[in-house]
A and B are shown apart, each in its own frame.
Chain A
Amino acid sequence: MEAAVFISSLVDCCALIFLSVYFIITLSDLECDYINARSCCSKLNKWVVPEMVAQALATVLMLVSMHWFVFLLNLPVASWDAYRYVKVPMGNMGVYDPTEIHNRGQLKSHMKEAMIKLGFHLLCFFIYLYSMILALIND
Chain B
Amino acid sequence: PLICKFPLTAPSFDFASDRRCTSGDSSSTTTGSASPVPNSYESLEGGSYSGTSLQSPPAGVPAKLAPPFGYNYPTMHPAYQQNPAPKPDPSPSHGGYNPPGYQPYSQVLTLLSSALGGLGGVSELEAETLRPVNLLQERNILPPKRAPPPEPNLSNDLRKVNCSPDTFRCTLTNIPQTQALLNKARLPLGLLLHPFRDLTQLPVITSNTIVRCRSCRTYINPFVSFLDQRRWKCNLCYRVNDVPDEFMYNPVTRSYGEPHKRPEVQNSTVEFIASSDYMLRPPQPALYLFLLDVSHNAVESGYLNVFCQSLLDNLEKLPGDTRTHIGFVTFDSTVHFYNLQEGLSQPQMLVVSDIDDVFIPTHDSLLVNLKESKELVKDLLNALPGMFTHTRETQSALGPALQAAYKLMSPTGGRVSVFQTQLPTLGAGLLQSREDPNLRSSTKNVQHLGPATDFYKKLALDCSGQQIGVDLFLLSSQYSDLASLACVSKYSAGSVFYYPSFHHIHNTAQRQKFQKDLQRYLTRKIGFEAVMRIRCTKGLSIHTFHGNFFVRSTDLLSLANVNPDSGFAVQMSIEESLADTSLACFQAALLYTSSKGKRRIRVHTLCLPVVSQLSEVFAGADIQAISCLLANMAIDRSISSSLSDARDALVNAVVDCLTAYRANGSNIQPSGLIAPAALRLFPLYVLALLKQKALRTGTSTRLDERVFSMCELKSQPLQQIMHMVHPDLYRIDNMTEQAALHLNDSVIPQPPLLQLTAEKLTREGAFLMDCGSVMYLWVGKCCNETFIRDVLGFPNYASLPSNMTEIPELQTTYSERTRAFISWLYDFMLTLTLMQLFFSRDDASTKTSFFQHLVEDRTESAFSYYEFLLHVQQQMSK
Interface residues of A (CB under 8 A from B): 31-33, 36-38, 89-93, 98-99, 102-105, 107-108
Contact = CB atoms under 8 A, between A and B. Distances in A.
Contacts of A89: 450-451, 640
Contacts of A99: 457, 460-461, 491, 550-551
Contact of A33 (B20, B42, B457, B487): B42
A58 B26 CA distance: 40
B27 interface: yes
Contacts of B554: 31, 102, 107
Interface in B453-478: 453-454, 457-458, 460-461, 465
B287 to A, nearest CB: 23
A85 to B, nearest CB: 15
A102 B461 contact: no
Contacts of B26: 32
Nearest to A38: B461
B451 A91 contact: yes
A37 B554 CA distance: 11
Contact of B450 (A91, A98, A102, A107): A91
B552 A36 contact: yes
13 contacts: A33-B28, A37-B552, A90-B450, A91-B450, A91-B454, A91-B483, A91-B487, A92-B457, A102-B554, A103-B551, A105-B17, A105-B19, A105-B544
Given A103-B545, A104-B543, A108-B19, 13 more contacts: A31-B554, A32-B26, A33-B27, A33-B553, A37-B551, A90-B454, A91-B451, A91-B454, A92-B457, A93-B458, A99-B461, A105-B19, A107-B554
A102 B551 contact: yes
A90 B17 CA distance: 27
A48 to B, nearest CB: 15
B22 interface: yes
A32 to B, nearest CB: 5
Contacts of B451: 89-91
A1 B545 CA distance: 55
Interface residues of B, number: 33
Contacts of B583: none
A90 B452 contact: yes
Contacts of A33: 27-28, 40, 42, 553
Nearest to B42: A33
Contacts of A37: 551-553
Given A90-B451, A91-B487, A98 B461 contact: yes
A104 B544 contact: yes
Given A31-B22, A105-B17, A91 B452 contact: yes
Contacts of A32: 26-27
A124 B280 CA distance: 49
B162 interface: no
B484 interface: yes
A89 B458 CA distance: 15
Which of A32, A105, A107 gathers most chain B CB within 10 Å? A105
Nearest to A98: B461
Which of B17, B450, B454 gathers most chain A CB within 10 Å? B454
Interface string B479-513: 00001100100010000000000000000000000
Nearest to B26: A32
A91 B448 CA distance: 10
A25 B19 CA distance: 19
A90 B22 contact: no
A114 to B, nearest CB: 15
A102 B553 contact: yes
Contacts of B553: 33, 37, 102
Contacts of A103: 544-545, 551
A15 to B, nearest CB: 29
A31 B450 CA distance: 27
Closest 5 CB pairs of A and B: A91-B451, A102-B551, A105-B19, A93-B454, A108-B19
A33 B30 CA distance: 11
Contacts of B20: 108
Contacts of B491: 99
Interface string B548-586: 001111100000000000000000000000000000000
Interface string B637-670: 0001000000000000000000000000000000
A102 B19 CA distance: 12
A23 to B, nearest CB: 18
A90 B450 CA distance: 8
B723 to A, nearest CB: 27
A109 B483 CA distance: 27
A83 B461 CA distance: 27
B540 to A, nearest CB: 15
A33 B465 CA distance: 16
B116 to A, nearest CB: 40
Contacts of B550: 99
Interface string B762-776: 000000000000000
Contacts of B452: 90-91
B42 to A, nearest CB: 5
A99 B639 CA distance: 15
Interface string B1-41: 00000000000000001011010001110000000000010
Contacts of B454: 90-93
Contacts of B17: 105
Contact of A93 (B40, B457, B484): B457
A32 B22 CA distance: 9
Nearest to A104: B544
Which of B460, B545, B554 gathers most chain A CB within 10 Å? B554
A91 B461 CA distance: 13
A135 to B, nearest CB: 42
Given A103-B544, A105-B543, A91 B484 contact: yes
A93 B487 CA distance: 12
Contacts of B552: 36-37, 102
Contacts of A91: 450-454, 457, 483-484, 487
B675 to A, nearest CB: 30
B481 to A, nearest CB: 11
B807 to A, nearest CB: 45
A57 to B, nearest CB: 29
A37 B557 CA distance: 12
A32 B544 CA distance: 18
Contacts of B640: 89
Contacts of A105: 17, 19, 543-544
Contacts of A93: 454, 457-458
A74 to B, nearest CB: 27
B878 to A, nearest CB: 29
A32 B29 CA distance: 10
A99 B492 CA distance: 11
Which of A37, A38, A91, A98 gathers most chain B CB within 10 Å? A91
Nearest to A88: B454
A120 B454 CA distance: 33
A38 B452 CA distance: 20
A32 B487 CA distance: 27
A13 to B, nearest CB: 29
B15 to A, nearest CB: 13
Contacts of A104: 543-544, 636
A98 to B, nearest CB: 6
Contacts of A38: 461, 465
Nearest to B434: A90
Nearest to A93: B454
Contacts of B42: 33
Contacts of B22: 31
A32 B42 CA distance: 11
Which of B17, B19, B20, B26 gathers most chain A CB within 10 Å? B19
A101 to B, nearest CB: 8
Nearest to A89: B450
A36 B28 CA distance: 13
Nearest to B573: A105
A37 B461 CA distance: 10
A37 to B, nearest CB: 7
Contacts of B460: 99
